[in-house]
Amino acid sequence: MTGIDWDLVLGSLGPLLSGAIRGTIPLALVSFAAGMVLAVAVALMRLYGNRAVAAVAGLYVSVIRGTPLLVQLFVVFYGLPSLGLTIDPWPSAIIAFSLNVGGYAAEVVRAAILSVPKGQWEAAYMIGMSRPTSLRRVILPQASRVAVPPLSNTFISLVKDTSLASLILVTELFREAQQIAAFSQEFMVLYVEAALVYWVICLALAGGQGSLEKRLDRYVAH
Amino acid sequence: MSPTDTPPGATPDPTGARASSLLTAAGVSKSFGDVEVLRSVDVSVARGEVLAVIGASGSGKTTLLRCLNGLEVPDSGRVSIGHTSVDFATRPPARELRALRDRSAMVFQHYHLFPHRTVLENIVEGPVVVQRRPRAEVNAEALALLDRVGLADRAGAYPHELSGGQQQRVGILRALALRPDVLLFDEPTSALDPELVGDVLGLMRDLAAEGWTMVVVTHELQFAREVAHRVAFVDGGRVLEEGPPDQVLRHPQHDRTRQFVRRLLHPL
């Protein structure tokens, strides 16, 4: 049992943080944003689309939730080229993660919309709003309050899941750790260090979730 | 604020109500599944008239009110307010329902204020977002309305910070700010603690005196007697009896009306 190689720990911190800042975080942010747009669209399709539209949306959610993320990632990056569609690692990762988040978040958004009392729709209609305006001005703002805690979980999961992108050659936090570990043969040190960086990012996100919930709760009686 | 085209304090001649009716519902029917809630109901309200609609729970009176602004879509019949007329022989497009809805404003039993918006924002939402009137002008109007009901200092509060009676008065102001032709009230005091009822009814009495056209579904017989020009008793999905308050409430023609009024006046 030798001591911890602190020079290695400190020396590798730079590349790991760089992987987080240039890989993990933007990958998670972009995928989450795109996934949320998709999720709202899919939720609205399921709630208000005709039978065919709702069925398509339901099938999408079922496929995404019923298959492993790693498989989805491999289908996009390693599978599509055999159909003549080759996509670079970064866009592949963003496509796969967005589709994945969209499937899970769609159900959260749908449930949150349904949780808004029917009277709010009626009041919105009463003042003359159309359905899209009612959704935008009255229903979604209230649904967002309900959706923030579960969506925060989705986002935190996504941040950790981006480590899978290392398997399709995206340079991010975990791939940096793997490369340094392979070179230095200090697997334990590097992987624990990578875990700690993920943990710190998620702690910060959980803090952000708390203050966001507080802000959204300002109009609710306690 | 007073309704457009109506001299303040105008009282319509009850006998001439049909000739100059502002709101007309003709042959309105509505079923929920197998249950016939409204059976070809006819109602008309003249400009400046206050119609109180009374009846037992489940009689169809709230459904009738909701059919007047398309929140409930009748299965058949016709509803007209002013020059806007919607035929329900086939399901009308959303655009037509909105046109009808623009003519009236409703006050709900459970207020249904927007919880994520302040009192002031609740009142100006419709005029600014839907009617696209200038925000500054609408804000000033809303503040004047709030001042009138003694809630000017609550303009920035959220609905949950108000008492039920205050919330319902804001609900009424939200309706007024839309400048509707007709005000529809759905049991506006039924959800309130008894000591808070007076403020709301007082405001409604003032509005009636200003000449607002109002349809009020209510259990407050005293309000119906003192403020309404006409009372309609709904039973089994029909208007069983209607006329001046004194007639319907003191000398009802039908046993059902008599029983209902007696039960409300003497619950024990």
Residue extents of the structural domains in chain B? 1-103+180-268, 112-179
**Minimum distance, in Å, between the CA of residue B102 and any CA atom of chain A:** 6
CA atoms within 13 A on the CB side of B235: 12
Q: What CATH number belongs to A30-170+209-219? A: 1.10.3720.10
Q: What is the pLDDT of residue A3?
A: 77
pLDDT in tens, A70-118: 999 999 999 999 999 999 999 999 999 999 999 999 999 999 999 999 9
Please list the residues that pair with B32 across neighbouring strands. B35
Which residues in chain B (102-141) have CB-CB distances under 8 A to chain A?
102, 105-106, 108, 110, 112-117, 125-126, 129-131
| Residue burial B183-217, b: 16+ Cβ < 10 Å; e: rest | bbbbbbbeebeeebbebbbebbeebbebbbbbbbb
pLDDT in tens, A12-40: 999 999 999 999 999 999 999 999 999 99
Which whole-number Å values give the CA distances from A220 to A141, B95, B162, B171, B185, in the listed order?
A: 13, 34, 12, 18, 26
d(CA A89, CA A170): 6
pLDDT in tens, B144-186: 999 999 999 999 999 999 999 999 999 999 999 999 999 999 9
Task: Give the one of A125, A138, A142 whose C-beta lies nearest to B71's C-beta.
Answer: A125
pLDDT in tens, B5-61: 444 444 444 444 445 799 999 999 999 999 999 999 999 999 999 999 999 988 999
Q: Rounded to the nearest 10 degrees, what angle do helices A140-161 and A187-216 cross at? A: 180
- Residue of chain A whose Cα is closest to the Cα of B116: A219
Of the residues A127, A140, A148, A220, the best mutation for testing chain B's interface (the one with the most B CB atoms within 10 Å of its CB) is A127
pLDDT in tens, B205-223: 999 999 999 999 999 999 9
Closest CA to B54 of B237, B221, B253, B225: B221
Q: Which fold has domain B1-103+180-268?
A: Rossmann fold (3.40.50)
Q: What is the pLDDT of residue B12?
A: 45
Helix or strand run (H / E) with residue B243 = strand B238-243
Of the residues A126, A215, A222, the best mutation for testing chain B's interface (the one with the most B CB atoms within 10 Å of its CB) is A126
Q: What is the pLDDT of residue B266?
A: 87
What residues of B are in contact with residue A142 (Cβ under 8 Å)? Answer: 115-116
Q: What is the pLDDT of residue A151?
A: 95
Per 3-state DSSP, chain A is made up of helix, strand and coil in percentages (nearest 5) of: 85, 0, 15
ipTM over 0.85: yes
Tally Cβ neighbours within 10 Å of residue A198: 19
The span from the first CA to the last CA of chain A, in angstroms, equals 55
